[in-house]
Amino acid sequence: MTRTVIFNADDFGVAPGINRGIVHCHAAGVLTSTSLMVHGRAAQGAATLAREHPALAVGLHWDLDGRRAPAPDFTDPAAVRAELELQLAAAERLLGRPPTHLDSHHHVHRHDEVLPHALEIAERTGLALRGSSEVHYIGGFYAQWEPGVDELEHVGVAALASILEHELAAGWTEIGCHPGYVDDDFRSAYREPREAELATLTDPAVRTLLGDLGLRLASFAEVRAPGA
């Protein structure tokens, strides 16, 4: 079976520099997909860039941590469902079309209070939900495994090569990433590694390695949820 790889960037829309970096990784590197935070301060700018780059698959990055908008009451199933639906509708308005896939900031959709609703929405829309579709998710391309400690070697070319060579199963794999340009006003615990990720994802050696390993590069636009 052909092994197919999707490089998907979280946090599209969180800040202008992150948007620019994601689009650069798509135009000059191996990034094929990204996930939009509809409550991000640069969400409208992200939507504009998405229209300018139609080959970039744009999904929804549900944001429920309360930093950009009030978090729902997780003890109230109706409130959780309403917020998920609200953000889905917002993504459709911003993009002018449905998103190509579904995931969430800090993987909150996997929590017991959220997952049943996320699964129902994925089934209704026919969109792949991270962790619940045919696409195997790998989150190891990340530089901060201890809070506040950046270890940039984990997002270098050698680290990504190791993932591609040793961690991919047959079928589809999503490699999560967080590239971007870090502007002075960008507030996040994960800052400098974003530009290191950007450098790796645009390094010609990565595309060469994909070819050498016989890996097919694709986007979430080609993936549908089971039964869709």
pLDDT for the residue 187:
85
pLDDT tens digit string along 180-210?
999 888 888 888 999 999 999 999 999 999 9
Beta strand residue intervals within 13-151, DSSP E: 33-36, 57-62, 101-104, 128-129, 135-138
- The single-letter code of the amino acid at 174 is E
What are the tens digits of pLDDT across the range 116-152? 999 999 999 999 999 999 999 999 999 999 888 999 9
Backbone angles phi, psi at 36, to 5 degrees: -90, 130
Please tell me the predicted confidence (pLDDT) of residue 228.
Answer: 45
Q: Examine the pLDDT at 227 and tell me if it is beyond 60.
A: no
Confirm if 37 and 14 have CB atoms less than 8 A apart. yes
CATH for 3-222, among 3.60.15.10, 3.20.20.370, 2.60.40.1840, 3.40.50.450?
3.20.20.370
**pLDDT at position 7, please?**
98
- Catalytically active residues are 10
Instruction: Give the Cα separation of 16 and 87 in Å (integer).
Output: 20
pLDDT digits (tens, 9 = 90+) for 167-178: 998 999 999 999
Is 225's pLDDT higher than 70? no
Residue 74 has which token pair? 């997780």
* Residue extents of the structural domains in the chain: 3-222
Check if the beta carbon of residue 135 is closer than 8 Å to that of residue 128. yes
